[in-house]
Amino acid sequence: KNEVEQSPQNLTAQEGEFITINCSYSVGISALHWLQQHPGGGIVSLFMLSSGKKKHGRLIATINIQEKHSSLHITASHPRDSAVYICAVSRNGAQKLVFGQGTRLTINP
């Protein structure tokens, strides 16, 4: 079993829908990252969090340390949100990230 599991692996939705991507991990962590990668493009860090909730525009990330779970929400989704979203964790005492397999999101107009 992977240390970081994301669900769903693929998600297709209509423009305007509320999107939730989930990430569960099985190790103690010092931080959790949400990354975005557009097709053929680079990787952008969306959030880094170790507790609570963060919001940036239409994106919200939450983390529950006790349950070892994080969610990435997108409100009023738009076709330009179509990308692969990757969850990654920094393990306690370690400095390298462990990555989830990514969630491919497609928003249709």
CA distances from 53 to 20, 48, 72, 109 (A): 14, 10, 10, 29
Q: What φ, ψ does residue 15 adopt, rounded to 5°?
A: -50, 135
Among 10, 12, 45, 108, binds other proteins (CB under 8 A): 45
CB of 31 to other proteins, least distance (A): 5
Nearer to other proteins, 50 or 106 (CB): 50
Among 102, 103, 105, 107, binds other proteins (CB under 8 A): 102
Nearer to other proteins, 63 or 77 (CB): 63
Asked if 96 touches other proteins (CB under 8 A), the answer is yes
Do residues 79 and 39 make contact, with C-beta atoms less than 8 angstroms apart? no
Asked if 95 touches other proteins (CB under 8 A), the answer is yes
Mode of pairing for the β-strands spanning 103-108 and 83-91: antiparallel
Nearer to other proteins, 44 or 76 (CB): 44
Contact partners, residue 42, CB within 8 Å, separation at least 6: none
Give residues in contact with other proteins (CB under 8 A).
30-31, 33, 35, 41-45, 48, 50, 86, 88, 90, 94-97, 99, 101-102
